[in-house]
Amino acid sequence: MKANVFLTFSVFVVSVLIFSCNKDDNSGTVTYSVSQVNENDDVAIEKYLNEYYFDSAGNVKRIDDTEDVTEEENAEQLSNKLMNFAEKQDSGIWIVTREAVEADGDYVSFDNKNTTLQYNMFYFKSYKEDGTVYYRTPATSSTFSTILYGFKPRENPYFLDAPLYNDGDVKSDYEIEGILEGLAKFKATNNADYTNYNLQGVIVVPSRLAYGRDKHYVNPTSTSATKVETYEDYCFVFNFEVLKVENAE
Residue 47 vs residue 161, higher pLDDT: 47
**Residue 56: domain span:** 32-247
Q: Provide the pLDDT for residue 208.
A: 97
What is the percentage of the chain residues whose pLDDT exceeds 70?
87
Residue 192 lies inside a defined structural domain of this protein: yes
- The confidence score (pLDDT) of residue 18 equals 32
Q: How far apart are CA 192 and CA 213, in angstroms?
A: 39
Residue 81 has pLDDT above 90, yes or no: yes
Domain annotation covers residue 2: no
**What pLDDT sits at residue 223?**
62
Kindly provide the b/e burial profile for residues 211-241, where b requires at least 16 CB atoms within 10 angstroms of the residue's own CB.
Answer: bbeeebbbebeeeebeeeeebbbbbbbbbbb
Please give the pLDDT value at position 164: 77
In a domain, 5, yes or no: no
What mean pLDDT do residues 51-74 have? 94
Query: What's the CATH number where 93 sits?
Result: 3.10.50.40
Q: Please check whether residue 60 lies inside any domain of the structure.
A: yes
Q: Does the residue 6 lie in any domain? A: no
* CA 106 – CA 185 distance, rounded (Å): 10
pLDDT of residue 65: 84
Instruction: Give the DSSP letter of residue 244.
Output: E
Task: Give pLDDT tens digits for 89-139.
Answer: 999 999 999 989 999 999 998 887 899 999 999 999 999 999 999 999 999
On whether residue 102 sits in a domain, the answer given is yes
Dihedral Cα 110, 112, 114, 117, nearest 10 deg: -10
Between residues 236 and 16, which one has the greater pLDDT? Answer: 236
10 or 112, which is more confident:
112
Neighbouring residues of 127: CB distance < 8 A, sequence distance ≥ 6: 26, 30, 32, 40, 133, 134, 135, 136
Provide the domain count of the chain: 1
Establish if 15 belongs to a structural domain: no
Q: Which residues pair with residue 238 across a beta bridge?
A: 121, 203
Which pLDDT score, from 0 to 100, does residue 28 have? 54
- What pLDDT does 224 receive? 64
pLDDT digits (tens, 9 = 90+) for 167-217: 788 888 889 999 999 999 999 999 999 899 999 999 999 999 999 999 998
Q: Is the pLDDT of residue 163 over 90?
A: no
CB neighbour list of residue 200: distance below 8 Å, 6 or more residues apart: 58, 97, 98, 101, 103, 186, 189, 240, 241, 242
